[in-house]
Structure 1
């Protein structure tokens, strides 16, 4: 069966992933940040993608990344793209 996993390093996802997430969010976030926090759904994984993609080689059908490359140092972009290629199954995209 297909699964989608949101790998994120944002403060909202780090809070959401914690055991006390909802209680902490109500105290620390307000306005648009709280709205963004409340909109987070699905399988979440907190991970710093500068340390690679935390999946086995050839195990992923597709990788979608939005608003990621601009947060990676120029020297790290080739490595990040190589990581995407590494985790993709043959024919993956």
Structure 2
């Protein structure tokens, strides 16, 4: 297991400690667990996808329609918008 020694502003340290204790309790290792979780989240946010397609994967996972159904729906929306112009 790796070990880091870092320096942060006093205000940030105090807020981090308070939040870690609220979430993980007043027990040994709670600050380490919170710091590890924060670092994992930061790595995920800062990791750039290799291609633009990879950044889109999973974005529409919650949509229950197929891609063909979405295309047909988009065609209808465009047709309605065009008919309103004319």
* Fold shared per TM-score above 0.5: no
- Greater relative contact order (CA < 8 Å, ≥ 6 in sequence): 1
Structure with the bigger percentage of helix: 2
What TM-score, normalized by structure 2, do the two folds share? 0.22
- The structure with more radius of gyration: 2
What TM-score, normalized by structure 1, do the two folds share? 0.21
